[in-house]
Amino acid sequence: MQVLGDNERAGSDFMLDVFKSLGFEYFFANPGSSFRGLHESVINHGGNKSPELITCCHEESSVAMAHGYFKAEGKPIAVMAHGTVGLQHASMAIYNAWCDRVPVYVILGNHADAAIRRGAEWYHGVQDAAAMVRDYTKWDDFPWSLTHFAESAVRAYQVAMTPPMAPVVMVLDGGLQEHPIPKDEPLRVPRLTMPAAPAGERGAVDEAARMLVAANAPVLVADRLARTANGMTLLVELAELLQAGVIDEGSRMNFPSRHPLNQTQRARAAGAEADLIVGLESADFWGTVNAVRDQLHRSTRRLAKPDARLITISTGDLYIRANYQDFRRLQDVDLAIAADPEATLPALIDAVRRLITGDRQRVFEERGAKLAQASRAAAEANRIAATYAWDSSPVSVARLCAEVWAQIRDQDWSLVSSYYSNDQTNWPRRLWNFDKRHQWLGHAGGGGIGYGAPASVGAALANKKHGRLSVAIQTDGDMMYAPGVLWTAAHHQIPLLSVMNNNRQYHQEAMHVQRMCNARNRGIDRGEIGSRLSEPNIDYAKLAQSMGIYAEGPISNPRDLAPALSRAIAVVKKGEPALVDVVTQVR
């Protein structure tokens, strides 16, 4: 049997050296023979440390876990997968990450040399592996030498992490991984130098500052603004300087939920009052300013004042793809700054500060006091709204979220997943006090269901080393896509409290079908058919227990919820995952 000679090393050992230089803490993978060379290098050449292999039961889980990890930690994860069947599994999660502008570093194995392929490698072989996801990845390469690999591997990292961030793909040839190379072959690990994020042009920033200082009712609308914790700090500084209202559209943790200038819970009123709206990395600025009425004959209308002035600061103007339509409708604006808003805010803050006069300061202070009063009223309305159906069974979602909050509020917690995409039903955002970046991690991005469970596990893994209590409000339909991720959490001892929001249906889809029934004036009592997840009911506690996870439920009586949560949190604090299955009302 051939073995590696004393004067040889594996090509994948060098590949791992390059990956280590990029600082990956983990590789997420469902094992696959097309990257067996790199797999072996990770566990033996690298000692399975930095990166450590995390065993996943589905490639969609691997990528969604990496998505969640990045949201919590701000660092990308590498995912290994087959170039064909693995990528096909992974593709939906890659699409979610791309829509959410989250970097995931995808490593694909592929045997290019047809002359020496084994049987299965023909099914796992492909001419252009990355073609399938090229529409929703930022860059890819299939290197033909180790020097080529090294440069492309570092370039891929730079491309993925430079705003606008997005997934990238590196296709690694099986031969390049497995063929031995002389130990003295001169190979260099390129130095990683991260480009500075693109900031706004000075003249445009000054003009934005003039408009902001002159406005009587400016509103700052932040969506994917805060790349880092500093993004939130900067937005707070700008808002306080102007005493301007802020609407946090929630793709990132942009603004403290209980800050007096936070108008998110009265966003429609704040938007309608505004004479200037500034979109900060808004994924859908048109949808911020306008609305579509979803009836048999759809219509649109403007929500903002007709003469409200509009500014955007967005990397969306720097990057657009043709096929997938995530770019949304084009909104007429008065000033568009093609830049990363977090990188632009320091200059904007300085420019605003220079323009503020004593008279304007007095106006700002009056405005801030009114906004604070409105914010307090909205918060109080939320508390009262949560009391309705308080004791009813199944458990109301408001009660569920209030019970969780009561038990975590004094701890260093992180809500690692919540599927609620608007603030009306986002009970955590309505009731909890979010003031740290890791407490709110946004959404799936592309609306692909099946994100929540794996993203929670990935984010919880990131939170583990910080000692944070990770909590997921886990919807049932989402869980059923790839529940094997529960095993990953158990196997790798990832502390995570999953509270099932088990309404026993794909609820949002049931509403869509109900809408069709009504619009067609027939069968209005049949809207749930095809969307129910009952008959039989799914026992999520048993599902979790079968994979080694502490679990309780199903719980239908709200009075049973607090003790169950308390017991589960005690397990999580010991470093293990736990699940509480709560049978809930619809959202």
CA distance 272 to 153: 48
| Gap between the Cα atoms of 272 and 35, Å rounded | 54
Measured from the CB of residue 122, what is the shortest distance to another protein in angstroms? 39
Block residue for tokens 């893994």: 461
> Within 432-491, which residues bind another protein (CB under 8 A)?
443-444, 447
Dist. CA 154–CA 443, nearest whole Å: 28
User: Binding mask 556-585 vs another protein (x if CB under 8 A, - otherwise)?
Assistant: -----------------------------x
**Interaction of residue 392 with another protein, rule CB under 8 A:** yes
Kindly tell me which residue out of 214, 318, 519, 529 binds another protein, with binding defined by CB under 8 A.
519
Here the tokens at position 235 are 């937005």
> Residues 6 or more apart from 9 whose CB is under 8 A from it?
180, 181, 182, 183
Q: With respect to another protein, which residue has the nearer C-beta, 532 or 567?
A: 532
SS3 label, residue 547 = coil
Q: Find the binding residues for another protein in span 281-320 (CB under 8 A).
A: 283-284, 286-288, 291-295, 301, 303-304
* Nearest distance from C-beta of residue 211 to another protein, angstroms: 20
Identify the CA nearest to 288 among candidates 334, 234, 352, 220: 220
The interface with another protein within residues 165-204 (CB under 8 A) comprises: none
The least distance separating another protein from the CB of residue 344, rounded to whole angstroms, comes to 22
Question: Least distance to another protein from the beta carbon of 480, Å?
Answer: 16
Among 517, 545, 548, 573, binds another protein (CB under 8 A): 517
Paired tokens of 510 = 């049931």
Contact stretch for another protein (CB under 8 A) within 46-54, 66-74, 357-365, 522-530: 522-530
List 34, 41, 61, 264, residue binding another protein (CB under 8 A): 264
DSSP H helical ranges for 432-503: 452-464, 476-479, 485-491
Interface with another protein (CB under 8 A), residue total 80
Show the binding pattern over residues 202-221: x = contacts another protein (CB under 8 A), - = does not.
-------------------x
Choose one: 29-37, 110-118, 186-194, 506-514; the region binding another protein (CB under 8 A): 506-514
Determine, following the binding rule CB under 8 A, whether residue 394 of this chain makes contact with another protein: yes
CB of 275 to another protein, least distance (A): 15
d(CA 369, CA 243): 8
| Alpha carbons 96 and 479: distance in angstroms, whole number | 16
The closest of 496, 412, 503, 504 to 453, measured between CA atoms, is: 496
Residue 525 makes contact with another protein by CB under 8 A: yes
Measured CA to CA, the distance from residue 249 to residue 283 in angstroms comes to 9
To 10 degrees, the CA torsion angle through 43, 48, 54, 56? 0
Residue 480 DSSP class: T
Pick the stretch among 134-142, 200-208, 307-315, 511-519 that binds another protein (CB under 8 A).
Answer: 511-519
Name which of residues 414 to 433 contact another protein (CB under 8 A): 419-425, 430-431
Q: Which residue in the set 260, 454, 527, 554 belongs to the binding site for another protein (CB under 8 A)? A: 527
Separation of alpha carbons 363 and 531, rounded Å: 53
Angle, in degrees to the nearest 10, between helices 358-387 and 397-408? 110
Nearer to another protein, 113 or 380 (CB): 380
Determine contact, residues 61/86, Cβ cutoff 8 Å.
no
Contact flag: residue 14 with another protein (CB under 8 A): no
**By C-beta, is 214 or 385 nearer to another protein?**
385
Binding-site member from 21, 88, 508, 556 for another protein (CB under 8 A): 508
Of 247, 315, 297, which Cα lies nearest the Cα of 276?
A: 247
384 binds another protein (CB under 8 A): yes
3-state secondary structure of 141: strand
Comparing CB distances to another protein, the nearer of 347 and 431 is 431
